[in-house]
Every structure is written in structure tokens, then in C-alpha cells.
Amino acid sequence: MRATVDRIRTWDERITAGFSKLPQVWPLDIFFGFFSLVGQGGLVWFILAYRLQQTTRMDELFLVLVTAQTLQFIVVGMGIKAAVRRMRPGVAKVALPLWKGWGDYSFPSGHAASSATAWVVISHFVPGALLGTLIVAILCGLSRLYLHKHYFFDIVCGYLSGVLIGLFVILFI
């Protein structure tokens, strides 16, 4: 078991190191900084869901998304992050956390979890939004690697937890 964990950690650090070798140039800083900001607190997803709710007349979309994002924040933000307390790989050049505390920890990525949760919920109610929301969700996660705020495995586990929470809320709540 220990050997498997060590292999995963080595793989995680190598992929993260590969992302850290990307050129730090202002167009990429702005591009990924934008998607990191977009993913902060899930605000963009609430705005998108509200707008989609108005145009599609699906009254429960916004309520289900708020429920899913609240559960995601409790489980990932206040639960897993606070329990694991994995330190971040570095200091971001563009995006800064809006609060101190569990937001200072890296595992799992709250941006990736929030984005994946929103992707599952929104694409469930509006199937035509599946590809667009998936692209934004992926870019939100990749932005956190580019900005040195997370390890690769933090992003993967954030996406996985977000998908599971989104599916749970859709299926059981």
C-alpha cells in the first residue's frame, strides 16, 4: 500500500512540475487568471444557472445547483480540505484566496469540485450546455495548476468529488 501511495505521489509531483514549466507570460497569466477567478466560489455557475433557468423555464435548476454547491462546499471545502490539510505547491501570481482558513489548503481543489458539480447539474437540466460547461470546468481546474495553487491529483480528486456530489444531489435530493 505504501509503495502505491509513493508512486501516486511521485506521478502527481511530476505532472505538477510539468505544468510549472509552462512559460509564465502575461497572456497565459490573464487567460488562466480569468478562469481561476471565474471558478472562485462558484459565482459564475450561479449566474449561468440563473440565466439558463430564465430561458429554459426549468424552475428547479437554480435550486438544485444551490443545493449541490452548498453540499460540495461543506464536504470538500469545510470537510476534506480541513481534514487532509495538504499544503499548496506554491504561491499564485494572479489569483488570491478570498478568505483564510481551509481555503489555504490544496487537497482537493474546490475550484475543480465546484466546476464539476455545476457541470453535472447544469448539463442534466440543459443537455445542450454539456460541452460548453465541460470546457469551462476543465479550464477552471487547469488554471489552478498553471497558477501553482494545486497539485495535479488535487484537481483530479476535486473533479471526482464534484461529479459524485452533483450526481448524488440529482439522484437523491
Place of cell 488554471: 143
- Residue ranges and CATH numbers for the domains of the chain are 2-172 (1.10.606.20)
Q: Is the Cβ–Cβ distance between 161 and 75 less than 8 Å?
A: yes
Amino acid at 53: Q
pLDDT tens digits along 108-138: 888 899 999 999 998 998 888 889 889 989 9
pLDDT tens digits along 21-56: 777 888 888 888 888 887 777 777 877 777 777 777
Q: What are phi and psi of 87, to 5 degrees?
A: -75, 150
Q: How many residues in the chain?
A: 173
